[in-house]
Amino acid sequence: MEAPAMETSSYEETADWLRNHTDQHPKVAIICGSGLGGLADLLQNKKVFSYEEIPHFPTSTVPGHAGKLVFGSLQGRECVCMQGRFHFYEGYNIQTVAFPVRIFHLLGVETLIVTNACGGLNTSYSVGDIMLIKDHINMPGLAGQNPLVGSNHERFGVRFPCMSDAYDRDLIALAKQTAAEQGCDSFLQEGVYCMVAGPSYETIAECRALRMMGADTVGMSTVPEVVVARHCGMRVLGLSLVTNMTVTDYDSHEKANHEEVLQTTRHRAKDLEKLVSNLINKI
């Protein structure tokens, strides 16, 4: 039995509606994680749509996700930016979580930049570090919750897409260069992001297990969008902001909470926004 998925006509209708309501033709799309929607505020000549008014578009229900799709120019490049994303834990199926990425593909987007707030597993990381994602571990996907399950839409990509090159190495190198130029390479890391389903934070035993598997950070998003983007042939750059260190000691009294995530994000968001803005100028 196939998993429920969006009909191809739904993607077309959404893309057509957006084409009819904006004359911009973005080549770069940015998906903003928790508290990182300020990236969209940097755009000029903006055209803003709330998710509710876009046909077939889901809505975001999480604090720190404004729920707006913003078209505009950044450093002279036309971009589209999602102020807030969708999550599996909100009750959406995994195909719906990644729905906007196929819309971006139909609109002509070639490069996807994904950002997220995450928990640090690597003990050499610090709160406030920015991690370039070099690879991911898709825990829901390993359990069968992959956005490509079901009938393959040939117009988007092949049945069995490769994921060993999910994160574009040239874009990673460009991001490192840009970070060095703006003086934020001292808190720039490169590592593996692990997606879990959420919404509960991880137990101590789970954090220890993920660390043993090779994960440097953990979060509840990003991977479905990356999988669909690569299926569509897009180049992908992923950036994780470490907003808290995960608890791996049974004697610790620390507890992860979403307010801490948003507070840390506010502290470091400007650096991440500047990095993405300067990077887009070079893509």
Q: Which of 6, 13, 89, 152 is catalytic?
A: 89
Query: How many whole angstroms separate alpha carbon 243 and alpha carbon 272?
Result: 13
For this structure, is 34 an active site residue? Answer: yes
Given 60, 122, 138, 244, the catalytic residue = 244
| Gap between the Cα atoms of 217 and 30, Å rounded | 20
Q: What is the DSSP letter of 215?
A: -
| From 5, 15, 82, 117, the catalytic residue | 117
Of the residues 116, 221, 277, 278, only one is catalytic, namely 221
Catalytic residue, chosen from 220, 234, 245, 269, is: 220
* Contact between residue 226 and residue 98 where contact means Cβ atoms under 8 Å apart: no
Residue 220 appears among annotated catalytic residues? yes
Size (the chain), residues: 283
Tokens at 76, concatenated: 């002279």
| Residue 167 annotated in active site | no
Catalytic residue chosen out of the listed positions 29, 40, 60, 87: 87
Catalytic, 90? Answer yes
21: phi then psi, degrees, rounded to nearest 5: -115, 0
Active-site pick, 5, 11, 65, 98: 65
* 21 assigned to active site: no
Provide the strand spans (E) within 97-212.
111-120, 130-138, 188-195
Choosing from 15, 40, 90, 131, the catalytic residue is: 90
Is 87 tagged catalytic? yes
What residues are labeled active site?
34, 65, 87, 89-90, 117, 220-221, 244, 258
